[in-house]
């Protein structure tokens, strides 16, 4: 065998090793290059192996040298695109892939492969755009092309119509089925998305991107055990894939298995240290368990790998106790000046700069950034303040004193759950930390199970006279009410890690389902965490939420939402006296012992001094206030909104007499 033939054979062997053992593939490439330093295929193999290992900077350097030697190599440009995607640089990745397609137009699966790379890197928006480009380049059908274009532009109604019309003609096209699942997921129709993805995987079991999407939908449905099974199936097919390993770690976080989750992230990052989004996810897990210094290091490493990554800057800001340096502020401003910065990075940077400038006392400039971040984020979200108000009115009409009184003992009798409800940023995490410091109470997280049960009863199906929920609750039999209560207890069991008799569900939005809770869990405790309207609403306005809370990105809308919340809670005060205990955040901060004693007594719990030393309690805290509740109570945050008072006119107008009367409750 000639020397060149042996080299070609060795390269093929190296390529075969890439999926399962990229380190061995790297060794193979380096052995070839030791004898043939300029062999282009060996250098490309080396770059691919380095990318698989996560050494993205070294991979990109290798590719840059290759590109200088051969500017017309489509394979090199395509590999550059994959590395840029893994580094979170979507614009650079798209530009490199476009160069590859120009050089070799018949590479029809290039965009789909790039979409898969973005999926593994955790960049869902860029994955969608790359997948849509795949459709436009590979498919001539006008309906599917229209759907792909609409998805990129976030024109969901057009995308849905086009896909449904197309699937009437081609019902087994897995590409279109996956796209329709994405439409359903964006609309919040998670059951539909899951059904479509299951069908997709029945037709194409090896469609890994669809399986990755399916695991993500299962996570949003609060089915982490099922999501974990899908992640493990992906890993069996591709054990070395860092995206699949990161997905598994994320599912372990959701079930509260932090030790295994952190070990999983560390294993990924040992092999793939250059993945900025995986590094950021690792930081989130570290923050949750209280390892703040390590979390900061992870976020800063993510920024070093991807300086445009707005979410990493926001993650630092979201520690609440972090202070940005002038160099950080300058870097964020430089990134915002880029014309090609993706929208997601842009609004995250605006929120982070708002926090940085607030800490400097530059309140006018700070508010300008908060306002722009909110404006950009609001364009991506569907929220209807009028429908929210109508839903509140329907809830009042259904859960009357007569209904609640007649059916108050028909649900599951277990007293285990303690619900903390209200608005986000209302002091609920502090209440959770105080209660979970008690020897009989376990803290969990913001559990989505009540909302999931409400969805199954028709929540968000239909509007106005066509709305299904909460009218559907009134028609339930005693047996069904009891079954739903038992179902909730079973769903949440995976989150309970101790034998303590009580546990906390801190999902704030559950206030809208207080009537449902009273009927299916009549012995559960419900605590309403309330904070001054301007303090609470503006704190939400400054906050970027990873998911949900769509009402928080406009001052008028958040004011109207707060007003609807107060009106609904006032209704339950009258319809079911004594069933909800209210804690005003300001009173708790000013006299923590008296309010804590009152809270524990209402819960039927003996007083324990450790509840006053809540900041010493070591536990995972999965909210924006995680670092704040690890310190003693201070009055520092009570009046921070006053620095922005001159810009809060729309919020004041929307709140009306709810603001004027606080803490009293006006007549509605």
| DSSP codes joined into one string, 221-284 | TT-HHHHHHHHHHHHHH-TT-HHHHHHHHHHHHHTT-HHHHHHHHHHHHHH-TT-HHHHHHHHH
Given a cut of 90, whether residue 409 has pLDDT beyond it is: no
Most confident of 188-202, 237-251, 256-270, 523-537: 523-537
The pLDDT assigned to 2 comes to 62
Q: How many Cβ atoms sit within 10 Å of the Cβ of residue 268?
A: 26
Interval 287-291 mean pLDDT: 88
| Average pLDDT value over all residues in the chain | 89
Q: Do 451 and 513 form a contact (C-beta atoms < 8 A)?
A: yes
- Using one digit for the tens of pLDDT, what is the confidence trace for 434-489? 999 999 999 988 898 999 899 899 988 888 878 899 999 999 999 999 999 999 99
Q: Which CATH class is domain 149-221?
A: mainly alpha
Residue 408: pLDDT band by 50, 70, 90 thresholds?
Answer: confident
Which of 38-52, 76-90, 316-330, 608-622 ranks highest by mean pLDDT? 316-330
pTM confidence score: 0.82
CATH topology of domain 1-53: 1.25.40
For residue 140, the model assigns a pLDDT of 63
Report the C-alpha gap between 461 and 468 in whole angstroms.
6
pLDDT tens digits, 105-116: 776 578 778 887
Q: Does CATH place domain 385-632 in 1.10.10.10?
A: no
Predicted local confidence at residue 615, as pLDDT:
82
526 - beta bridge partners? 419, 580
Q: The tokens of 129 are what?
A: 């755009």
Q: What is the DSSP letter of 436?
A: H
Residues 294-303 have a mean pLDDT of 94
Q: Is the pLDDT of residue 586 over 90?
A: yes
Q: Where along the chain do its domains lie?
A: 1-53, 71-138, 149-221, 385-632
Equal CATH topology for 1-53 and 385-632: no
Topology of domain 71-138 in CATH is 1.25.40
State mean pLDDT over 10-21: 83
Is the pLDDT at 239 greater than 90, yes or no?
no
What is the pLDDT averaged over residues 141-153?
Answer: 77
Which of 12-21, 25-34, 40-49 shows the lowest mean pLDDT across its residues?
12-21
Q: What is the pLDDT of residues 388-397, one digit of tens each?
A: 999 999 999 9
**pLDDT value for 215:** 94
55-100, pLDDT tens digit by residue? 888 898 998 888 888 878 888 888 898 888 887 777 788 888 888 8
| pLDDT for the residue 246 | 87
Asked if 368 contacts 375 with a C-beta cutoff of 8 angstroms, the reply is no
| Helices 208-220 and 242-254, packing angle to 10 deg | 10
Q: Do 143 and 124 meet the contact criterion of CB atoms below 8 Å apart?
A: no
Residue 629 pLDDT > 80: no
Q: What is the pLDDT of residues 599-625, one digit of tens each?
A: 999 999 999 999 998 888 775 554 544
Give me the pLDDT at residue 626, please. 46
């Amino acid at each position: 065998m000639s020397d060149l033939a042996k080299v070609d054979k060795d390269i093929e062997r190296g390529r075969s090793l890439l999926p399962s053992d990229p380190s061995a593939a790297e060794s193979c490439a380096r052995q070839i290059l030791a004898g043939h330093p300029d062999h282009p295929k060996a250098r490309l193999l080396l770059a691919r192996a380095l990318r698989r290992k996560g050494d993205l900077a070294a991979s990109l350097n290798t590719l840059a040298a290759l590109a200088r030697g051969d500017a017309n190599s489509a394979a090199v440009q395509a590999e550059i695109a994959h590395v840029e995607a893994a580094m979170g640089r979507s614009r650079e990745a798209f530009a490199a892939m476009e160069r590859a397609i120009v050089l070799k137009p018949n590479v029809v699966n290039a965009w789909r492969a790039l979409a898969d790379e973005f999926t593994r890197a955790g960049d869902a928006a860029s994955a969608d755009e790359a997948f849509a480009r795949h459709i436009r380049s590979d498919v001539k059908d006008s309906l599917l092309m229209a759907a792909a274009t609409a998805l990129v532009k976030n024109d969901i109604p057009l995308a849905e119509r086009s896909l449904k019309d197309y699937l009437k003609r081609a019902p087994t096209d897995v590409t279109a089925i996956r796209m329709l699942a994405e439409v359903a997921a964006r609309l919040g129709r998670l059951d539909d998305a899951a059904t479509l993805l299951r069908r997709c995987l029945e037709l194409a079991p090896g469609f890994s991107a669809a399986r990755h999407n399916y695991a993500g939908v299962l996570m949003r449905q609060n089915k982490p055990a099922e999501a974990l099974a899908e992640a493990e199936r992906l890993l069996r097919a591709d054990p070395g894939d860092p995206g699949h390993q990161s997905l598994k770690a994320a599912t372990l976080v959701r079930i509260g298995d932090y030790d295994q989750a952190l070990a999983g992230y560390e294993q990924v990052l040992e092999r793939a240290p250059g993945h900025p989004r995986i590094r950021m996810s690792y930081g989130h897990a570290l923050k949750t368990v209280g390892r703040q210094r390590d979390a900061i290091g992870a976020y800063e490493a993510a920024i070093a790998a991807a300086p445009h990554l707005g979410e990493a800057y926001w993650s630092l800001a979201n520690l609440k106790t972090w202070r940005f340096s002038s160099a950080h502020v300058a870097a964020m401003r430089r990134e915002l000046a880029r014309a090609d910065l993706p929208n997601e990075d842009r609004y995250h940077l605006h929120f982070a700069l708002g926090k940085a400038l607030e800490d400097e006392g530059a309140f006018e400039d700070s508010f300008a950034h908060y306002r722009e971040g909110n404006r950009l984020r609001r364009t991506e979200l569907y929220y209807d303040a009028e429908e929210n108000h109508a839903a509140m009115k329907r809830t009042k009409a259904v859960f009357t004193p007569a209904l609640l009184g007649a059916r108050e003992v028909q649900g599951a009798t277990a007293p285990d759950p303690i619900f903390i409800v209200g608005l986000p940023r209302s002091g609920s995490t502090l209440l959770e930390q105080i209660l979970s410091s008690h020897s009989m109470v376990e803290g969990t997280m913001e559990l989505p199970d009540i909302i999931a049960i409400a969805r199954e009863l028709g929540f968000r199906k239909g509007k106005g006279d066509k709305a299904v929920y909460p009218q559907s609750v009134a028609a339930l039999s005693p047996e069904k009410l009891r079954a739903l209560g038992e179902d909730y207890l079973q769903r949440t069991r995976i989150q309970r890690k101790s034998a303590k008799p009580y546990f906390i569900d801190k999902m704030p939005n559950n206030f809208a389902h207080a009537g449902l809770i009273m009927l299916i869990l009549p012995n559960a405790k419900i605590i309403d965490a309330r904070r001054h309207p301007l303090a609470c609403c503006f704190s939400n306005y400054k906050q970027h939420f990873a998911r949900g809370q769509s009402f928080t990105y406009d001052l008028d809308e958040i004011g109207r939402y707060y007003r609807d919340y107060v009106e609904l809670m006032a209704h339950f005060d009258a319809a079911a006296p004594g069933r909800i205990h209210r804690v005003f955040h300001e009173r708790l901060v000013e006299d923590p012992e008296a309010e804590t004693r009152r809270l524990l007594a209402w819960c039927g719990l003996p007083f324990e001094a450790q509840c006053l030393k809540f900041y010493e309690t070591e536990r995972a805290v999965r909210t924006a206030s995680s670092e704040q509740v690890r310190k003693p109570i201070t009055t520092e945050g009570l009046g921070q909104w006053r620095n922005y008072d001159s810009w809060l006119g729309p919020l004041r107008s929307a709140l009306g007499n709810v603001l004027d009367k606080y803490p009293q409750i006006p007549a509605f």
